[in-house]
Amino acid sequence: MQVQDKPLSLPTPITAEQLAEQMPSAKGLLSDEPEMESSLHAAQMLLLVSILEWLWLGREDYFIGYNLTIYFNREQLKTKDFRGPDFFLVKNVVQWPRPSWVVWEEGGRYPDLIIELLSDSTAQTDRTTKKEIYQNIFRTPEYFWFSPESLEFAGWRLQGSHYQEIPANEQGWRWSEALGLYLGIHDRKLRYFGPEGELIPTPAEAALQERQKFVQAQQQAVQAQQQAAQAQQQAAQAQQQAAQAQQQAAQAQQQAELERQKAERLAAHLRSLGVDPETLWS
């Protein structure tokens, strides 16, 4: 989003109450922002917004503004020489739709985090003029910029009265205290990463992951059923084998008894003939 090149003077600090008394009503202060620079910028913005809203689903204590004007002083209302951030986050506020962010109607609240998407027409301003505004007027704790085209990525954290660059880790990610997440590049997009390094999914990615988990759970259930059936089959086979073994043992015992009875009859017959069977078998 373009910003005029003339320098923007810094107003004398006043309280939120004094500002609200001096400024007009926020009614009718609509956002006055141009369209995104390109489809790359629009897609990147959609990612940043949709992922965070999905991750924080159920929370109502924050506001995300994207391509939305921030009104913060009378001079700006007159000159309209400042364009709003591409993306900003305000924490601990009521979540309701706003046509613009009007500082004196929000208790003097400025964004806790700002992300600018660099382009050929805005990069110089984002790196200089806007950085000074966010540092000196907004006092925004964290400021990041990212180019969807060149992949330039930097982050700044307010230390005292000045921004200090946020160091990158081995992956090139930078930690955001406001988000409790890392910001880093993945597949040529600026993405969020959890404290353990896990990629925070888009709603579509999350749905796909859940579907994959469901399919995997179904497969595991089918495998468990098959294993249970095999175990039952094996148990039935073992039972059948045991029954056969018992039957064979009974038959052997019966055969032994028959042989014993046959031997006794033979011995009795020999004795009837005057022959001692012991002398024959000894």
Classify residue 250 by its DSSP letter.
H
Which amino acid is it at 64? I
The rounded radius of gyration (Å) of the Cα atoms in the chain is 41
Q: Is the pLDDT of residue 2 over 90?
A: no
Q: Is the pLDDT of residue 24 over 70?
A: no
> What pLDDT does 62 receive?
97
CA-based nearest residue to 91, from 69, 70, 113: 113
Q: With a cut of 60, say whether residue 197 has pLDDT above it.
A: yes
Partner residues linked to 176 by β-bridges: 181
Instruction: Say how many C-beta atoms besides its own lie within 10 A of residue 135's C-beta.
Output: 16
Dist. CA 60–CA 147, nearest whole Å = 30
The chain-wide mean pLDDT, for the chain, equals 84
Among left, alpha and beta (phi > 0; psi -120 to 50; other), residue 160 is left
| Prediction pTM value | 0.69
Q: List C-alpha distances in Å: 243 to 193, 233, 236.
A: 62, 15, 10
Angstrom distance (rounded) from CA 232 to CA 240? 12
Give the H/E segment covering residue 65: strand 62-66
Counted residue by residue, the chain has a size of 282
Least confident of 68-82, 239-253, 255-269: 68-82
Tokens, residue 244: 């056969």
Question: Which residues, in sequence order, are CB contacts of 77 under 8 Å at separation 6+?
Answer: 23, 24, 71
CATH number given to 16-200? 3.90.1570.10
Domain ranges (residues) in the chain: 16-200
18, pLDDT greater than 80: no
Q: Is the dihedral of CA 193, 199, 205, 207 positive or negative?
A: negative
pLDDT exceeds cutoff 50 at 4:
no
H-only helix segments in 23-173: 39-55, 74-79, 123-127, 129-133
Across-strand partners of 182?
Answer: 175, 193
* pLDDT (tens digit per residue) in 102-146: 898 899 999 999 999 999 989 999 999 999 999 999 999 999 999
**What would the mean pLDDT of 9-30 be, rounded to a whole number?**
54
Q: Report the run of H or E that residue 109 belongs to, with start and end.
A: none
**What's the pLDDT band for 38 if we cut at 50, 70, 90?**
confident
Question: Are 3 and 83 within 8 A, CB to CB?
Answer: yes
| CA atoms of 5 and 258, how far apart (whole Å) | 118
Q: Does pLDDT of 147 surpass 70?
A: yes
Q: Which helix (H) or strand (E) holds 142?
A: strand 142-146
CA–CA separation, 75 and 81 (whole Å): 9
Characterize the bridge pairing of strands 142-146 and 162-165: unpaired
